[in-house]
Amino acid sequence: MQQKCITAVMFLAPCGILPAAINEPVRLESGLVSGKAGEEPDMRIFKGIPFAAPPAGNLRWRAPQPPPHWDGVRKADEFSAVCMQNSNNPAAKPSEDCLYLNVWTAAQSASEKRPVMVWIYGGGYNTGSASIPNYDGEHLAAKGAVVVTFNYRLGAFGFLGHPELTKEADRRGAANFGMLDAIAVLQWVQKNIAAFGGDPKRVTIFGESAGAGMVAHLMASPQAKGLFERAIGESSAWGISPDTRAKTLADAEQAGVKLAEALGVKSLAELRAQPAEAILKAGRGTGPVVDGWLLPEDPGKVFAEGKQNAVPVLLGSNQDEGTFFLQPTTADKFVAQSKTRYGALADEFLKLYPAGSDEQANASALMDFRDQMAWVMRNWARLDEKTGKAKAYVYYFTHQPPEPEGGRGGRRRGATHVAEVPYVFNNQGNRPWTDVDRHVADLMSSYWVNFAANGDPNGKGLPKWPVFDERKNGTVMVFGDGAEPGSVLSPSQIAFFQKVYDQK
């Protein structure tokens, strides 16, 4: 044992000598598991715990089934395979046998009831995994949370529709298998997390990019009701315009029929008999689908009607989101695309984001991407506060992380999409962090854990984070080289994006 002092998280015990780690093996519904030590002797890590049976063969494109029970003590010391995807990482070995989760805990006993944080990774619903080093949960767990990460089915394995699937499932989750995996994890947490010292009554779901979109869709799903008490979304929600909103089940079915035709098969049974690699090559998934059961309507409509799982939210985006996605453009191309995207609103848009030259067009493209994402997260906060009567806290990440000279493709990306994640998890990794980076990471990870503990990010020693209030132009917490309240969007920008959003 050694002395370890945790700062800035208000619910933790004073600094002192911590006793030994939680007793093992840990008893789960499916059997006993043993973990491994973390960087500190009181930290225990459990990797590769199955939360569902392998969704292969006849279980492909079905709701997750309970994992088989095992005898003896299962060693939970290695990450599982990632779910089927096209990956540039040669170390990642995709497999359909991928429905596993991981737990980090510094609890000393099962009676501690620490807040639980369940992470949902991004990757456009087609790539990603729970074993990415950025998502290591040890430093959040050291601040008092029990951290859970998990794999969910991706692409055509996680979000495929087909008329036969709809009939087989009686519309219950048809085409939303990745979302059903997330719900299965949250149900697993309710049944098992207390054994790791976690409190099943204080569960926070948090995610980035597609993971944040999943968080928003889980808030909109009646099937996830009661499975979490708070939600954190980083840089994604639901679409701002009609053409970017959730696909309908009919759309998903049509896409599934086309995939089957590309493979030369005519039935669901034949599709299930196809090798996983063939499915992967044949097409991508649609992302979450409005199926009338798991997702009764597009999340925007669910929130507007106050039918969401209304819980406190912590939401935000980054200053340089667009540098992750956008390629150089020209003034002519930017104007043409603007007219296509915004129609009758194009002239108003071009006044806010002018394109008098190629240089100005490129700057406007980045600003549009940045501001649109900020508005999307603001809108999520606004609706949850307005119709759900829940507290919302909004952030804006402007800190410039260090990166290799020249950045990606010869340009620096700044506070780009995903840039906040290492700071949230307080994971320096092999990055050349300075004392300022470590300060920002300590602030953000402390706010996130406090929010998971209490539904309020504020705590002793932290700058005051104001509750979001639309009437005050939506004050947000700006994370630059520290943290201070500020504002992001102008009234004219807010009004414009609201017009776009209100289009039918």
Q: What is the pLDDT of residues 181-234, one digit of tens each?
A: 999 999 999 999 999 999 999 999 999 999 999 999 999 999 999 999 999 999
Residue 334: the pLDDT is: 97
Checking if the pLDDT of 8 tops 50, the result is: no
Tell me the average pLDDT of the chain: 92
DSSP string, 448-496: HHHHHHHS----TTS---PPP-GGGT--EEEESSSEEEE----HHHHHH
Checking if the pLDDT of 276 tops 70, the result is: yes
476: closest CA among 263, 318, 350, 306? 318
Averaged over 36-51, what is the pLDDT? 96
Checking if the pLDDT of 2 tops 50, the result is: no
Residue 411: the pLDDT is: 55
Q: Percentage of the chain with pLDDT > 70? A: 94
Kindly give the pairing relationship between strand 31-34 and strand 44-50.
Answer: unpaired
Checking if the pLDDT of 3 tops 50, the result is: no
Lowest mean pLDDT among 151-155, 171-175, 499-503: 171-175
The β-bridge partners of 316 are: 234, 395
Higher pLDDT: 100 or 18? It is 100
Averaged over 376-390, what is the pLDDT? 96
Checking if the pLDDT of 445 tops 70, the result is: yes
Checking if the pLDDT of 357 tops 70, the result is: yes
H/E stretch holding 314 reads: strand 313-318
Averaged over 88-113, what is the pLDDT? 91
Residue 88: the pLDDT is: 72
Q: d(Cα 61, Cα 46) in Å, to the nearest integer?
A: 28
DSSP string, 21-68: PPPSSEEETTEEEE-EE-SSTT-EEEEEEESS----GGGTTSPPPPPP
Q: What are the Cα distances from residue 468, in Å, to 23, 136, 228, 312, 462?
A: 42, 30, 21, 11, 17
Higher pLDDT: 245 or 157? It is 157
Checking if the pLDDT of 43 tops 50, the result is: yes
Q: Percentage of the chain with pLDDT > 90? A: 86
Domain with CATH 3.40.50.1820 in the chain: 20-311, 324-504
Residue 473: the pLDDT is: 63
Amino acid code (one letter) for 222: P
Residue 404: the pLDDT is: 57
Residue 16: the pLDDT is: 40
Q: Do the beta carbons of residue 426 and residue 39 sit within 8 Å?
A: no
| Number of Cα atoms under 13 Å in the Cβ half of residue 290 | 15
Residue 117: the pLDDT is: 99
Residue 18: the pLDDT is: 45
Residue 475: the pLDDT is: 87
Checking if the pLDDT of 44 tops 70, the result is: yes
| Sequence-ordered strand ranges (E) for 350-412 | 392-397
Residue 171: the pLDDT is: 81
Q: What are the Cα distances from residue 9, in Å, to 12, 141, 420, 443, 464?
A: 6, 12, 19, 10, 13
Residue 412: the pLDDT is: 77
- State whether residue 95 is helix, strand or coil: coil
CATH of domain 20-311: 3.40.50.1820
Residue 41: the pLDDT is: 86
Checking if the pLDDT of 297 tops 90, the result is: yes
Averaged over 85-107, what is the pLDDT? 90
CATH classification (class only), 324-504: alpha beta
Lowest mean pLDDT among 35-39, 80-84, 282-286, 332-336: 282-286
Residue 14: the pLDDT is: 37
Averaged over 351-369, what is the pLDDT? 97
Residues tagged active-site: 209, 321, 417
Averaged over 401-410, what is the pLDDT? 61
Measured from the Cβ of residue 109, the count of other Cβ atoms closer than 10 Å reads 12
pLDDT band at 271 (very low <50, low <70, confident <90, very high): very high
Checking if the pLDDT of 94 tops 80, the result is: yes
Checking if the pLDDT of 456 tops 50, the result is: yes
Residue 285: the pLDDT is: 85
